[in-house]
Amino acid sequence: MLDRVELRVKAGDGGRGAIAFRREKFVPFGGPAGGDGGKGGDVIIRADASVSTLRAYQHRRNFKAESGQNGMSKNKHGRDGADLVLTVPPGTLVFQKNDSAEELVADLERDGQQVVVARGGRGGFGNTHFATPVNQAPRIAQPGMPGQEKIIVLELRLIADAGIIGYPNVGKSSLLAAVSAANPKIADYPFTTLEPVLGVVRVNGDSFVLAEIPGLIQGAHAGKGLGHEFLRHAMRTRVLVHLVDGSSADPLDEYISVNNELAKFDAELAKKPQVVAVNKIDLPVVKARQAEIRQAFREAGVQPLFISAATKIGLQELIAETWRLLKESAVRTRLEQPVAVFRPQPVDSDRIQKKGNTFILSEPELERFLDKVDLNSPAGQQQLAQKLAMLGVSEVLLAAGAKPGDTIITGNKGWKWYYPDENRSHGRHV
């Protein structure tokens, strides 16, 4: 089962603003008429109930949204780029990968939930925006801003009310088939089931979703036996049905071992309510040991049920107890992470380092902007002034102690800074 993929997504770039002028007969002094560039499209992850797997991303891992169109003459704005929507099954976690760490961005649990994982770049202003009383025909336009580029990880965790856990070959598939209409593969060898299977259990006119979590073994928390692939699905459940093989040499030891794996993988997982059921009571050897097994579990503080998935002995009691625990659960056990929204961060004093009369400003957006601007030209200096005003850089520099004539360095560009007034731009290239 493909339940975890890593994608590289790129939002659309903003369109370039236009430099144009009105040139109409009998219209003197037409003035600037350059339109703005369009905004780049966002990349959106959306939960869709019609999608059941992540297989659509098995072979294609790079996605890019449409860029905005460039501005045009006659004040015609460029068209915004279309958003790119990637659909995933409900129950998908969206992570953003930063170096080796992964940060949860959203838990798309319900149909229709969505999150923007990469925002499109803003379109550049055309020269119409730069007209002033002293410069009525500006030859200035802004380039579009680049769209965000992210590496995201999609992780599918099935959503079920209860999950059947236990060692391989204890009868989990047989139990699911006996209490629901599910048709899992059943065989007499370990790891028959290689991916979780869901079934709907009817009880007293109601129903709940029961999932078979494939077999756990010692070391599952560290990935042994595909442990990570199985354990993450158990995180969604509210109640665990812990199935134990009554014919094993030490049923209690297996019960303790599986719980240890749960605790090592996630402490919250081990705290979920459990219904403990000893299976294969139809076998004479298990029937003869029933009192011994019951006593061993009771000494460990557990009251087990005895069932037979093959002959359906005790299944009604098991279903009733599972339903009782589900009703007692006041809130669904789930990740309570809010949907995160990417927002541009304002420049603050933490991004400024002072070395004598030089101020080193760390601001990635400004660095990208400076790579596209010629600071030796009056038009470039005016564009810089506009950008610094938009980011609020001058106010922060002033608060950090910058004085007129001090050098500001961002990336590989530097300029002499002057706090803006009616007669000066924000800086002059050095």
Q: Do 415 and 375 meet the contact criterion of CB atoms below 8 Å apart?
A: yes
In three-state secondary structure terms, 35 is coil
Token readout for 175 is 């139990």
Please report the pLDDT score of residue 367 as a whole number. 78
Q: What is the CATH number of the domain that holds 167?
A: 3.40.50.300
The β-bridge partners of 87 are 46
Helix (H) or strand (E) holding 332: none
Are 303 and 395 within one domain? no
Verify that 151 and 168 share a domain, yes or no.
no
Q: Give the DSSP H/E element, type plus range, for residue 118.
A: strand 114-118
The verdict on residue 339 lying in a domain is no
Residue 52, φ and ψ in degrees, nearest 5: -115, -15
Given 118, 135, 156, which residue is the final one in a domain? 156
Do 188 and 105 belong to one domain?
no
Within a domain: residue 307? yes
From the CA atom positions of the chain, what is the Rg in Å? Answer: 32
Tens-binned pLDDT, residue by residue, of the chain (430 aa): 457 899 999 999 999 999 999 877 776 667 899 999 999 999 999 999 888 778 889 889 999 999 999 999 989 999 999 999 999 988 888 999 887 788 888 888 888 999 999 999 999 999 988 888 888 888 888 888 999 999 999 988 766 788 888 888 888 888 988 988 766 555 454 444 445 677 888 888 888 888 888 755 444 333 444 444 556 667 778 899 999 999 998 999 989 888 888 888 777 778 889 999 999 999 999 999 999 999 999 999 999 999 999 999 999 999 999 999 988 874 444 434 444 333 334 444 556 788 877 888 877 777 777 776 777 777 777 777 777 766 777 777 777 787 777 888 887 778 777 655 433 444 444 4
Q: Is residue 207 located within the same domain as residue 248?
A: yes
Instruction: Check the CA dihedral 259-260-265-266 and report its sign.
Output: positive
The last residue of a domain, from among 127, 156, 185: 156
**Distance (Å, whole) CA 342 – CA 44:** 12
216, 269 Cβ separation under 8 angstroms: no
Among 122, 156, 190, the domain-final residue is 156
Whether residue 340 is contained in a domain is answered as: no
173 and 271 in a common domain: yes
Regarding whether 252 and 171 lie in a shared domain, the answer is yes
- Do both 148 and 170 map to the same domain? no
Give the domain CATH number at 353.
Answer: 3.30.300.350
Two tokens at 135?
Answer: 């410069």
Q: Is-contact 70 123, C-beta < 8 A?
A: no
Collapsed DSSP state (helix, strand, coil) of residue 160: coil
- The tally of domains found in the chain comes to 3
Beta-carbon contacts of residue 262 (< 8 Å; ≥ 6 apart): 165, 221, 231, 234, 269, 270
Q: How many helical (H) and strand (E) elements, i.e. helices and strands, does the chain have?
A: 9, 19
The answer to whether residues 396 and 348 touch, using CB atoms and an 8 Å cutoff, is yes
Same domain? For 389 and 314 the reply is: no
Residue 419: its H or E element: none
Same domain, 106 and 196: no
**Tell me, what's the pLDDT at 28?**
67
170 & 84 share domain:
no
Range of the domain at 264: 162-328
Looking at the structure, tell me whether residues 48 and 114 fall in a common domain: yes
Does residue 335 form part of some domain? no
Residue 418 is assigned to a structural domain of this protein: yes
Residue 176: DSSP 8-state: H
Q: For residue 123, tell me if it sits in a domain.
A: yes
**Where residue 142 sits, what CATH number does that domain have?**
2.70.210.12
Does any domain span residue 336?
A: no
* 333 inside domain: no
Q: What is the pTM of this model?
A: 0.57
* Contact yes or no for 143/125 (Cβ under 8 A): no
Residues 316 and 363 in one domain: no
Write down the pLDDT at residue 47: 92
Query: 199 pairs with which residues across the strands?
Result: 210
